Amino acid sequence: MKRRLTLELAAAAGLLLTSAGLAAQTGEPLRVGIITELSGASADSGRQGRQVLELFMKQHGDTVAGRKVEILYRDAPGASPELARRAAQELISREKVDFIGGFGFTPNAIAVAPVVTAAKKPMIIMNTAATSVITTLSPYVMRMSFTLPQVTQPLAEWAAKNGIKTVYTIVTDFGPGTDAEKMFVKTFEAHGGKVIGSVRTPLANPQFGPFLQRARDEKPDAIFAFNPGGDQAVQFVKAYAERGLAKDGIKLLTTGDIVDDAFLNKMGDAALGLISSHHYSTAHDSPENKAFVAAYREAYGAKERTSFYGVGSWDGMSAIYEVARRTNGSFTGEEAMKILCGLKLTSPRGPISFDEHCDIVQNVYIRRVEKRDGELYNVEFATFPAVKDPGKAAK
């Protein structure tokens, strides 16, 4: 009878242990699956995110709550939703990851949402400006990055209140571009401005000169522009200068994607004076950001810069470590999401928290490109505090 009672008690105890609890007790690794761009046109962004994740572990240790942290990378170059979905399935079923993170393209994040829902695994969107509804598609998705409506609305409001009466819009013809355009137009006109023309450029191999000339002919006070950034943004800003729009007094307003800190110096003096809005700048003046930037340069080179891609990865890993610490390494997907959605962190970008949809709430800064010590920086001069994503309310 004594043996039987012992067996029954052991069985009862076993029922109370979750798989995560067993993993923590047996010292199994805490595994994080990262789906990002390791090849293709956006490989530089994926490389930057990977470097920041490795830097975070170097700064904070590769063990948390008694569990060794392992990061498993999967390549999803460009918008490749089917590839991203298969990668997530393999990471969850075969590699037994505890978290899914990364993402530089919205379609990839959307494709993975049903996978993490079925598996009850927390998913952290670290980089992409995924569509406003992404966090409503699954109770297991949180956004650590930003949305284009979130950073565009403050820019449009600022423009209308600072002497810009007419605007011509030039955006890339895909989801993020149209999201940005719709929010800018809606907000700018609500504050008394007028949009006098618009054009959408192709996603692949655009020739910006003719589009900019069309805008110049309309003589607006400013152009609002969005494109995916990187080398395409460098080409756009140089074409803006070559066509003489700045000399005509036509201002250029953009989201921070175009003036990505990692590419800004490649634009040269053509970018000087450009006004943008975003949630992070390498030049952000805070102790946390100064330490972040200094650590990145020490690790990867004095001329190296991280950008909003890097800060999203840094904060995503901060959130994962916080879940592990608060649960002593043992958690279910539901428990992890409850902690994630209730987080309030002091990030290199400033204070961040999360709304009822587990969507990020953060400061948005209006910045001007200036030269300091021979380098270009996005220097913040106005702040819109604690901005929620306005896209859901706009639908």
CATH number at residue 180: 3.40.50.2300
Q: Which residues contact 118 (CB under 8 A, 6 or more apart)?
A: none
Sign of CA dihedral 269, 271, 273, 277: negative
61: number of Cβ within 10 Å: 11
145, 123 contact by CB (below 8 A): no
Same domain membership, residue 231 and residue 169: yes
User: Encoding tokens for residue 124?
Assistant: 């952290």
Same domain membership, residue 200 and residue 139: no
CA neighbours within 13 Å on the CB side: how many for 321? 18
Same domain membership, residue 304 and residue 274: no
278, 254 contact by CB (below 8 A): no
Residue 146 buriedness (CB in 10 A; 0-12 / 13-18 / 19+): buried
Same domain membership, residue 12 and residue 60: yes
3-class secondary structure, 186: helix
Q: Among 126, 154, 150, 156, which residue's Cα sits nearest to residue 45?
A: 126
Helix 106-119 × helix 81-93 angle, to 10°: 30
Same domain membership, residue 85 and residue 10: yes
User: Encoding tokens for residue 20?
Assistant: 């995560």
Q: Which helix (DSSP H) or strand (DSSP E) does residue 242 occupy?
A: helix 231-242
Same domain membership, residue 381 and residue 235: yes
Q: For residues 389 and 193, give the distance between their C-alpha atoms in angstroms, rounded to a whole number.
A: 22
What strands lie across the sheet with 141-143, from one edge to the other? 63-64, 67-75, 30-36, 99-102, 123-125, 141-143
Same domain membership, residue 55 and residue 106: yes
Q: For residues 276 and 368, give the distance between their C-alpha atoms in angstroms, rounded to a whole number.
A: 7
* Number of residues written out for the chain: 395
Q: Among 354, 380, 360, 155, which residue's Cα sits nearest to residue 289?
A: 380
Same domain membership, residue 220 and residue 339: no
Query: For the chain, what is the domain count?
Result: 2
71, 97 contact by CB (below 8 A): no
Quote the domain boundaries for residue 270.
Answer: 149-278+363-394
Q: For residues 124 and 312, give the distance between their C-alpha atoms in angstroms, rounded to a whole number.
A: 10
Same domain membership, residue 268 and residue 181: yes
Tell me the one-letter amino acid at 352.
Answer: I
Same domain membership, residue 92 and residue 32: yes
Q: What is the pLDDT along the chain (395 residues), one digit of tens a residue?
A: 444 434 443 443 344 344 555 555 557 999 999 999 999 878 888 999 999 999 999 999 999 999 999 999 999 998 899 999 999 999 999 999 999 999 988 889 999 999 999 999 999 999 988 777 888 889 999 999 999 999 999 999 999 999 999 999 999 988 788 889 999 999 999 999 999 999 999 988 889 999 999 999 999 999 999 998 888 899 999 999 999 999 999 999 999 989 999 889 999 999 999 999 999 999 999 999 999 999 999 999 988 999 999 999 999 999 999 999 999 999 999 999 999 999 999 999 999 999 999 999 999 999 999 999 999 999 999 999 999 999 765 44
Residue 42 is predicted with a pLDDT of 83
Alpha carbon separation from 134 to 22, 139, 146, 203, 357 (Å, rounded): 32, 10, 12, 22, 9
3-state helix, strand, coil in the chain (%, to 5): 45, 25, 30
3-class secondary structure, 344: coil
Q: Which helix (DSSP H) or strand (DSSP E) does residue 296 occupy?
A: helix 287-300
Q: Among 344, 319, 342, 307, which residue's Cα sits nearest to residue 32?
A: 319
208, 235 contact by CB (below 8 A): yes
Same domain membership, residue 261 and residue 169: yes
Same domain membership, residue 51 and residue 64: yes
364, 154 contact by CB (below 8 A): yes
Chain centroid to CA 330: 28
Global pTM? 0.90
Q: For residues 233 and 256, give the distance between their C-alpha atoms in angstroms, rounded to a whole number.
A: 10
